[in-house]
Amino acid sequence: MTSSAVFENDRLDEVIQKAKDFALTHGLIKPLEAGAVSSAVTHISFLLAPLPIPRHLFEKMQRVQLDFNKLMYNVSQDYEFICNALKSSLNYDEFTRDLVEIYHKVHQKKIKDRGMLEILRCDYMLDSKNNEEQFKQIEINMIAAGMASTSAILTHLHRYTLRLSGNYEGANQVPDNLSLEGVATALVRAWEVYGQPNASILLVAEPTDVCCYNHRHIEFSVHEINPQISFMRTSLGDIGKRASLADDQQLIMDGIEIAVVYYRTGYKPAFYKSKVEWNGRFIAEQSCAIKCPSIGGHLAGTKTVQQALSEPGVIERYIDDPEAVVRIRNTFCKLYSLDLGPKGDHAVDIAINNREKFVLKPNREAGGNNLFGNEIFKKLTEFKDSPERTKYILMEKIVPVKVKGYLVKQLKPAVTLQELSYELGIFGAVVGNNNGIVHNRQIGHLLRTKPAEANEGSLLAETAVMDSPFLTS
């Protein structure tokens, strides 16, 4: 595969400095120190030039996003299915159990949100295992679906670095990415569905969130669309301490009614440091505010539900169009439940005997939780006949296509040329009112690149960086 840009060695330092300055001046930034509340910033890590991806495969994934939006919108509202899928894993997974407990309580109280908003991201890797390269789905992020703003702005950086390399025409091969505008538009549409002009959008984040500037981009973008909409930001803990419910289940924060709660936190146990954060989540969930995601949506994004959706006949329950069902199913890898019984036993056996061909996944988000290779062997040998194995699902491992590129990092070594593999995310947004879906969009993409030999990469630890596609024919 040819690269999108060739930089002469004696110009490389200059190009990198310009790219870093482009990032800093266009808001591709993060706090200099994680956990600090200060105005000292640095640029995010990124790949110097965009990565070649076959256009027809990229566009196929864009198209199937509308099907996934509809699927996940419908699944999010199927209480029985979600509870049933998760049932056997809960004894050994305290975090998911706590979330499901909230789900049960709000379901029993028959609390009805005034509308629905799901902003999701489907992640894929280009599998090189078979003769024909295909994007296969890694996961559907229903809550940990961030970086939309960074990704949109990075598109402009990559068009710039292509031009610096002398590839002027190539900038047209970097597709438009309206993910920031798409998130903001969906928030505004949900706010309109709620239908209370004085009510606010509330973005819920960690108190010192490394993504704070990403959140600001979203806030500013909402302001561009409708400057009348009040936009607040707070933590789960502050909701726990300061929010209340009014007579008709309205969520009130600091005296202001909340129309939309947009969670940019809440998806891993570490975000609930005490009962106060759980209380914050519970108060918000008991309200009629539109939550993004809904608690059903959050749970629909677990790995266990992903596996359950891959069982024969399940997608058909949510999607009428048989062609859409095929489009969705074609993106799936083989997924296996480890529930007790002959099917689960068989899955354990094949994983133990072919450990390099699988990934073992618990119901966790945001990276660093999956098991690979010898870790699979060890864990499954330990849990072979134990019900504890049900807190994992087993997934066929994708062998991703490899590419080469320059990683530009803030940390030393600041620039390295490496063999890489990438993961493509497509963002979707879907808004509904009491009569059904009123807004269903594919809103943009995100490309993350990690060293080819690594099983997982992390943007936070700079072992993965952000990138853009360069579409080839």
- Which residues here bind ligand ADP, judged by CB under 6 A? 123, 125, 138-139, 333, 359, 361, 364-367, 369-370, 395, 397-398, 423, 455-456
Shortest reach from residue 124's CB to ligand ADP, in Å? 10
Shortest reach from residue 79's CB to ligand ADP, in Å? 23
The residue among 206 and 238 lying less far from ligand ADP, judged by its C-beta, is 206
Residues 428, 142 contacting (CB under 8 angstroms):
no
Structure tokens belonging to residue 376: 């699979």
| H-state helical runs in 134-235 | 148-164, 179-194, 212-225
Position with the least CB separation from ligand ADP: 398
Shortest reach from residue 390's CB to ligand ADP, in Å? 18
Burial of 270 (0-12, 13-18, 19+ CB in 10 A): exposed
Shortest reach from residue 435's CB to ligand ADP, in Å? 33
The residue among 53 and 125 lying less far from ligand ADP, judged by its C-beta, is 125
The residue among 279 and 458 lying less far from ligand ADP, judged by its C-beta, is 458
Shortest reach from residue 6's CB to ligand ADP, in Å? 28
The residue among 144 and 162 lying less far from ligand ADP, judged by its C-beta, is 144
Shortest reach from residue 127's CB to ligand ADP, in Å? 8
Question: Crossing angle, helix 79-86 and helix 94-108, to 10 degrees?
Answer: 150
Shortest reach from residue 71's CB to ligand ADP, in Å? 18
Phi-psi region of 413 (alpha: psi -120 to 50; beta: other; left: phi over 0): beta
- Residue 386, beta-bridge partner list: none
The residue among 125 and 338 lying less far from ligand ADP, judged by its C-beta, is 125
The residue among 113 and 127 lying less far from ligand ADP, judged by its C-beta, is 127
The residue among 289 and 333 lying less far from ligand ADP, judged by its C-beta, is 333
* CA nearest to 221, candidates 310, 148, 115: 148
Structure tokens belonging to residue 231: 């936009």
Within 8 A by CB and 6+ apart from 384, the residues are 348, 352
Shortest reach from residue 280's CB to ligand ADP, in Å? 22
Structure tokens belonging to residue 149: 């703003």
Instruction: Tell me which residue has tokens 């290779």.
Output: 373
Q: Cα(344)–Cα(276) distance, rounded to whole angstroms?
A: 38
The residue among 72 and 290 lying less far from ligand ADP, judged by its C-beta, is 72
Residues 445, 427 contacting (CB under 8 angstroms):
yes
The residue among 122 and 251 lying less far from ligand ADP, judged by its C-beta, is 122
Within 8 A by CB and 6+ apart from 4, the residues are 49, 50, 51, 52, 162, 167, 170, 173, 470
Shortest reach from residue 98's CB to ligand ADP, in Å? 18
The 371-372 sheet, strands edge to edge: 335-337, 392-396, 358-362, 371-372
Shortest reach from residue 4's CB to ligand ADP, in Å? 22
Residues 200, 254 contacting (CB under 8 angstroms):
no
The residue among 242 and 268 lying less far from ligand ADP, judged by its C-beta, is 268
C-alpha neighbours within 13 Å on the C-beta side of residue 360: 25
Burial of 176 (0-12, 13-18, 19+ CB in 10 A): exposed
Structure tokens belonging to residue 200: 């606010």
The residue among 64 and 222 lying less far from ligand ADP, judged by its C-beta, is 64
What sign does the CA torsion over 55, 57, 63, 69 have? negative
The residue among 234 and 331 lying less far from ligand ADP, judged by its C-beta, is 331
Instruction: Tell me which residue has tokens 């196929």.
Output: 60
- 318: part of which helix (H) or strand (E)? none
Shortest reach from residue 123's CB to ligand ADP, in Å? 6
Shortest reach from residue 240's CB to ligand ADP, in Å? 25
Burial of 410 (0-12, 13-18, 19+ CB in 10 A): middle
